[in-house]
Amino acid sequence: MKVLFVYPEYPVTFWSFKYSLKFISKKASLPPLGLITVAAMTPDSWEKKLVDLNAEKLDERILKDYDFCFISAMAVQRKSAREVISLCKKHGVKIVAGGPLFTTEPEKFDDVDYLVLNEAEITLKEFLHDLEHGKPKHIYATAEWADIKTTPPPQWDLLNKKYYASMSLQFSRGCPFNCEFCDIPFLYGRMPRTKTAEQMVRELESLYQWGWRGDLFFVDDNFIGNKRVLKKEVLPAMVEWMRKRNYPFSIITEASLNLVDDEELMDLMINAGFNRVFVGIETPNEDSLKEANKFANLRRNLLESVRILHEHGFIVHSGFILGFDSDKPSIFDLMIRFIQNSAITVAMVGLLNAPRGSKLYEKLKLQKRLLGDITGDNTDFSTNIIPKMGLDTLVAGYKKVVSTIYSPAEYYKRVKKFLTEYKLPRRELVDVNWTNIKAFLKSLFVLGIKDRGRKYYWKLLLWTIFKRPKYLPITVTLYIYGYHFRRIFIDDPKKLAPSH
């Protein structure tokens, strides 16, 4: 059996880091973790090949050589997934599709031969059994949650490691919170299911033996959803392994803001190699937090929480949302002030959307306030809801926020403020290697000479050299990020044109 695994292309978005990747000569930020994990669940006897359309093109002439094409995708990859399906149909290749896009919109993909939905540990097993006996069904779905202690390590050898800026692993699925706008409870449940300490060490070791060194993203929607297992079992095992291997990975993950309430947990994460954390702050408007069921962020000083994370050695990335029913026109200036004062350099601000499976989707469906499905693109200034403040007001205010916080002057101020309050852990996590050196040299030309924000680049660079010399690699990285965000939000004239 010859099987092709194809990962559809992402458009250029906030998280694609397309303009940043050019500085380090990489093609994609992350590998298709779900797809290479699914590949590891298929028979060893199969001949397998992966094509990640974010890193390489698909030569459609090779399709005739394969029996099946496996596709996994999210909503933002919908257009590319459609194109892959059309090519497979054209060449008579049977299609097996799964992942969030197909699980939430199965009725839109009747032309797919086999829809293997929900979690592959359950449904893929059923599909493979039926395929072996010559009776595969069109659709496989389940209401059960998989035991991810049975999940194998990803099949790394399908990847070309030179393509990627970071690798990825998963420790848990599910989140104990129930935010109204989130579809994670629908897709993965509210009871976090975790892998064992032995599993995580085995996966880290497999990645190490494959030859990877550098950034590693734990893709959990809330890494700290099960604190007991983390603190008692997994993180101590990771600390021991990382020390033994001389810290080959620099780790980023996603966590709820209540991480700041547990100093032991923060220390364990730092000692295990975590140095960046994405937290969903969403909004400084308490009424909107209540509306969204974002209770973990209530009754706390949000700015102080971010400062604590910075002082512990975490670089904080965060998500923000505009367009809650409780938002008033004053929210735009409030959001700008909060982001600037927080010193959060990577601040992803998006419009409120209602994904299928979320409580918000069901509520707005009853209110007849839905405008279709989400695009999944957090930079296209779109929403699939009818906002109470009016769409034109919301979009105009949103444009004001992103054009302000990613303007060279304001971004420079925010990065400098971050560098004054951030404390690098005693065990330095910044890896100075040839890739980083090349990125620095390229930044001198692109950002220091050609870019319109070059004045702020040189001011920040010189300030760092004289005031925070150890932080120079971080400074250059953050400024390269800022260049990407400005290209996404500001330099595209279509984005900031008046809305109609």
Domain extents in the chain: 2-140, 148-420, 426-489
Identify the H or E element spanning 460.
helix 454-467
Separation CA 422–CA 463 (nearest Å): 15
pTM here? 0.95
Please choose, from the candidates 255, 263, 239, the residue with its C-alpha nearest in 3D space to the C-alpha of residue 192: 255
Q: Which CATH superfamily is domain 148-420 in?
A: tm_1862 like domain (3.80.30.20)
What are the percentages of helix, strand and coil residues in the chain, rounded to 5?
50, 15, 35
- The CA distances from residue 423 to 307, 308, 374, 418, in Å, are 10, 10, 39, 10
Contacts of 236 (CB under 8 A, 6+ apart): 197, 268
CATH class of 2-140: alpha beta
Q: Phi and psi (nearest 5°) for 99?
A: 100, 175
Separation CA 214–CA 160 (nearest Å): 15
- Structure token pair of residue 18: 């397309």
What pairs with residue 146 in β-bridges?
Answer: none
- For 375-378, which contacts have Cβ atoms below 8 Å and span 24 or more sequence positions? 375/75, 375/76, 375/78, 376/74, 376/75, 376/76, 376/77, 376/78, 377/11, 377/13, 377/76, 378/13, 378/14, 378/15, 378/348, 378/350
Residues 30, 93 contacting (CB under 8 angstroms) = no
Separation CA 297–CA 315 (nearest Å): 19
Question: How does pLDDT run along the chain (500 residues), one tens digit per residue?
Answer: 999 999 999 999 999 999 999 999 999 999 999 999 999 999 999 999 999 999 999 999 999 999 999 999 999 999 999 999 999 999 999 999 999 999 999 999 999 999 999 999 999 999 999 999 999 999 999 999 999 999 999 999 999 999 999 999 999 999 999 999 999 999 999 999 999 999 999 999 999 999 999 999 999 999 999 999 999 999 999 999 999 999 999 999 999 999 999 999 999 999 999 999 999 999 999 999 999 999 999 999 999 999 999 999 999 999 999 999 999 999 999 999 999 999 999 999 999 999 999 999 999 999 999 999 999 997 889 999 999 999 999 999 999 999 999 999 999 999 999 999 999 886 654 556 778 888 999 999 999 999 999 999 999 999 999 999 999 999 999 999 999 999 999 887 566 554 44
Please choose, from the candidates 377, 378, 297, the residue with its C-alpha nearest in 3D space to the C-alpha of residue 342: 297
